């Protein structure tokens, strides 16, 4: 395999490993909930076991011995758990989370450097200690009256499941059924599904049928229902339900003994059972078994490839605009026949291009649930470190955002969540003293509003005292002691660089690198963040984001000879106003718009454009809005709408504020795209004079 092919294979492995880790994370959260309830779903434990086994095998193939070794130890611990050799407990789940965290770090590290590694000895020691922990009481199944003929054909795992069901007081049942060879798979699956709704199918064993064109099976299961009740649920007269132990229903009812029922007994099927059992063991997902075929029909695509595809679409969009201009020129020169044919072809091209653009956009969209799952892990870990009890309430996981926005949102969202856990949620004792439930709640809700997605992070913690924020701001010299600030303006101070209401720093927050960075990162995504809080009741942070930053429709405007693009998703309307209608209130220029006051932002003053000042009697205003806030951007001309492809300004120009990126207009002219969220945020704070 060449270097390029090898690099691609490793890239594919890392992508698949990350997918498995994300699934393991979700399943471990469910297992943790089960541990708190003192119960666990064996299918869930088996699923986690298979995940660890898969990542071990994949890592081994690519020579990542550290990933493979760690996954192997996790697999061993999970095997002990599924066999009842160790007890399920919150501590064991945390140990598995520790292992998963190290796996995540290894996989992410190797995406940057193949030789990246970690000191795994501490986490391996914890996993080993957990595997040597106390197991379930060693009780013989014979105590429950299970016959040796059944025990002799069960695997160790099936024996454990049988014992677990018996200890939980469930009735152990044997269901015998005969099927035609042509339909047995479908009918057997239907019976299994019905039994799973009312208990656990422990083993499915084939046995001899009563004719050559028949096949018989016996299913061993545990249920809280009795034999007769199970018999009624199955709604099939051609089967027998027997009680092996428990439930006091060992006698078979007449209805469960149809004349055509087979007599497949362990005695008659003794030789064939072990062979079939091996096959069933593989079907049940034992180590090394199961199909290698993917269940999902999705295809992972590198985001760089989608970016390349989107760039091509963007170029085609610009070419379409050029053809439309040529068409217009031909028409103005009097060649109406050729112009008409060209216009018709252009409209067809436009429709197809729109479909292609929408298709590529759809591929880039991912549900925010992927991001929320990572936050779930953060909440569990940090709340454990802080010894706080916290529940994460997640809603709107199917809301979709551009993949790149989701990726860039992860760090700001993590910071907000950690702040809520550290600053917001009180200790259990403090909550009890305040008459609150011991367990705090952090809500992580997503919803779509038009062309924007709103993500709310809400906690029911101690909230923020506006007066304390104000005093801190005065101490730091951010505002004067006598400044009159609205409630929103006070909370905006929290987004100032270095601002913190906490006197003592911690490992989690309070180091001065905080909400200002969060706000800047959100602004770079053309988003906006707002805060509201009530002391004693909690804090809410609302993040408003565009659905995508790739191809957007933009309003092209001109100011002092410079051309800019304003994302049309932020433009509510455009106005032409007389200069005399502009008023000044508290040193801010505003206009009256439908019985409300609209603050104005003069783009020439904001960017300190040096051309001659405009002395016109009329001004054009683009009214832009995000969330519930609006401002009017004053420009010299409105040139029309156009699809544009936003390009990043790069790290070297990342300090430029108020600009989201650059775009090509298709006529060899590059313009700047305004960061509406950032401009609004600073303008509404009254500080829009420091842009470069």
What tokens were used for 207?
């046995």
The per-residue pLDDT for range 308-348, each reduced to its tens digit, is 888 788 778 778 877 888 888 888 888 778 888 888 888 88
* Residue 473 predicted with pLDDT over 70: yes
Q: Confidence class of residue 647 from pLDDT cuts 50, 70 and 90?
A: confident
What is the mean pLDDT of the segment spanning 662-691?
72
Backbone angle region of 674, left / alpha / beta, with phi > 0 → left and psi within -120 to 50 → alpha = beta
- pLDDT for 454 equals 92
What is the mean pLDDT of the segment spanning 205-214?
71
- pLDDT for 248 equals 44
What is the mean pLDDT of the segment spanning 125-136?
83
Helices (H), 181-294: 184-197, 227-234, 272-283
Q: In the chain, how many H helices and how many E strands?
A: 20, 22
Task: Output 589 or 297, whichever has higher pLDDT.
Answer: 589
* Residue 166 predicted with pLDDT over 70: yes
546 Cβ neighbours under 8 A, 6+ residues apart: 405, 451, 452, 453, 525, 526, 527, 552, 567, 569, 570
Give the lowest-confidence range in 171-175, 291-295, 472-476: 291-295
Beta bridge partners of 592: 597
Return the DSSP state at 647. Answer: B
Whole-number Å distance between alpha carbons of 56 and 285: 15
- pLDDT for 273 equals 31
**Radius of gyration (Cα) for the chain, nearest Å?**
33
Residue with tokens 């693009």, as numbered in its chain: 565
Residue with tokens 């779903």, as numbered in its chain: 41
- pLDDT for 280 equals 36
Q: Which of 185-189, 257-261, 634-638, 660-664 has the highest mean pLDDT?
A: 634-638
* Residue 124 predicted with pLDDT over 90: yes
CA diameter of the chain: 104
Give the lowest-confidence range in 13-27, 230-244, 454-468, 629-643: 230-244
Antiparallel, parallel or unpaired: β 538-546 and 452-459: antiparallel
Contact 503, 423 (CB under 8 A): no
Return the DSSP state at 119. Answer: -
- pLDDT for 275 equals 34
Q: Confidence class of residue 5 from pLDDT cuts 50, 70 and 90?
A: low
- pLDDT for 164 equals 83
User: For residue 541, which of 427, 415, 430 has the smallest C-alpha distance?
Assistant: 415
**What is the residue-averaged pLDDT of the chain?**
79
Backbone angle region of 685, left / alpha / beta, with phi > 0 → left and psi within -120 to 50 → alpha = alpha
User: For residue 544, which of 679, 660, 449 has the smallest C-alpha distance?
Assistant: 449
- pLDDT for 2 equals 52
527 Cβ neighbours under 8 A, 6+ residues apart: 543, 544, 545, 546, 626, 677
Q: Confidence class of residue 390 from pLDDT cuts 50, 70 and 90?
A: very high
Antiparallel, parallel or unpaired: β 440-449 and 171-180: unpaired
What is the mean pLDDT of the segment spanning 166-188?
81
Give the lowest-confidence range in 129-143, 364-378, 546-560, 638-652: 129-143
Cα-based distances in Å from 471 to 404, 495, 517: 39, 15, 22
What is the mean pLDDT of the segment spanning 579-600?
85
The per-residue pLDDT for range 415-449, each reduced to its tens digit, is 899 889 988 899 999 999 989 999 999 999 999 88
- Give the global pTM: 0.61
What does the DSSP assignment read for 495-561?
Answer: GSTT--S-SS--SSS-SS-SHHHHHHHHHHTT-EEEEEEETTTEEEEEEEEES-SSEEEEEEEEETT
Task: Output 457 or 353, whichever has higher pLDDT.
Answer: 457
């Amino acid at each position: 395999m060449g270097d390029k092919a090898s690099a691609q294979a490793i890239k594919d492995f890392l992508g698949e490993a990350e997918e498995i880790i994300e699934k393991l994370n979700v399943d471990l959260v469910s297992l943790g909930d089960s541990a708190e309830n003192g119960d666990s779903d064996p299918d869930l434990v088996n699923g986690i076991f298979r995940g660890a086994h898969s990542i071990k095998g994949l890592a081994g193939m690519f020579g990542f011995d550290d990933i493979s070794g760690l996954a192997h130890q996790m697999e061993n611990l999970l095997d002990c758990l599924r066999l009842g050799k160790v007890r399920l407990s919150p501590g064991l789940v945390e140990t598995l989370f520790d292992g998963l965290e190290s796996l995540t770090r290894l996989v992410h590290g190797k995406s940057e450097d193949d030789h990246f590694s970690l000191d795994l000895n501490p986490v391996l020691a914890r996993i080993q200690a957990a595997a040597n922990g106390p197991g379930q009481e060693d009780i013989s199944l014979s105590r429950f009256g299970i016959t040796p003929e059944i025990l002799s054909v069960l695997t160790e795992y099936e024996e454990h499941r049988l014992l677990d069901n018996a200890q939980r007081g469930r009735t152990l049942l044997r269901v015998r059924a005969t099927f035609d060879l042509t339909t047995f798979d479908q009918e057997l699956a239907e019976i299994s599904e019905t039994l799973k709704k009312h208990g656990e199918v422990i083993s499915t064993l084939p046995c001899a049928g009563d004719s050559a064109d028949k096949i018989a099976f016996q299913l061993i299961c545990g249920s809280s229902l009795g034999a007769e009740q199970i018999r009624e649920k199955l709604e099939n007269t051609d089967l027998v339900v027997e009680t092996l132990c428990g439930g006091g229903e060992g006698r078979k009812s007449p209805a469960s003994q149809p004349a055509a029922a087979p007599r497949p007994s362990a005695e008659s099927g003794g030789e064939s059972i072990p062979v079939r059992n091996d096959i069933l063991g593989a079907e049940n997902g034992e180590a090394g078994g199961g199909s290698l075929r993917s269940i999902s029909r999705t295809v992972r695509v590198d985001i760089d490839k989608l970016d390349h595809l989107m760039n091509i679409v963007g170029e085609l969009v610009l070419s379409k605009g050029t053809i439309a201009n040529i068409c217009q020129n031909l028409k103005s020169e009097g060649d109406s026949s050729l112009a008409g044919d060209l216009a018709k072809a252009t409209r067809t091209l436009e429709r197809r291009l729109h479909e292609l653009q929408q298709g590529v956009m759809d591929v880039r969209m991912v549900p925010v649930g992927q991001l929320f799952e990572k936050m779930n892990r953060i909440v569990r870990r940090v709340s454990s470190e802080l010894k706080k009890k916290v529940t994460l309430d997640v809603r709107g996981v199917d809301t979709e955002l551009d993949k790149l926005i989701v990726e860039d949102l992860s760090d700001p969202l993590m910071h907000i969540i950690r702040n809520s856990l550290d600053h917001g949620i009180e200790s259990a004792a403090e909550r009890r003293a305040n008459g609150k439930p011991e367990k705090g709640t952090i809500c992580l809700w997503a919803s779509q509003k038009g062309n924007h997605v709103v993500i709310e992070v809400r906690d029911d913690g101690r909230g923020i005292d506006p007066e304390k924020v104000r005093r801190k701001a005065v101490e730091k010299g951010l505002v004067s002691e006598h400044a009159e600030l609205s409630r929103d303006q006070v909370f905006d101070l929290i987004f100032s660089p270095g601002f913190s209401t906490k006197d003592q720093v911690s490992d989690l927050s309070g180091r001065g690198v905080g909400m200002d960075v969060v706000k800047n990162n959100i602004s770079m995504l053309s988003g906006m963040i707002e805060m509201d809080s009530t002391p004693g009741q909690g804090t809410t942070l609302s993040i408003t984001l565009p659905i995508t930053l790739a191809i957007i429709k933009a309003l092209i405007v001109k100011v002092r000879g410079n051309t800019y693009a304003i994302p049309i998703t932020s433009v509510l309307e455009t106005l032409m106003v007389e200069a005399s209608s502009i008023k000044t209130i508290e040193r801010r220029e505003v206009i009256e718009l439908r019985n409300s006051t609209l603050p104005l932002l003069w783009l020439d003053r904001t960017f300190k454009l040096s051309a001659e000042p405009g002395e016109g009697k009329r001004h054009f205003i683009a009214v832009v809005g995000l969330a519930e806030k609006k401002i009017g951007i004053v420009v010299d001309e409105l040139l029309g709408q156009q699809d544009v492809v936003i390009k990043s300004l790069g790290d070297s120009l990342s300090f430029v504020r108020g600009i989201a990126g650059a775009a090509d207009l298709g006529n060899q002219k590059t313009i700047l795209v305004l960061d509406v969220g950032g401009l609004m945020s600073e303008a509404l704070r009254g500080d829009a004079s420091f842009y470069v």
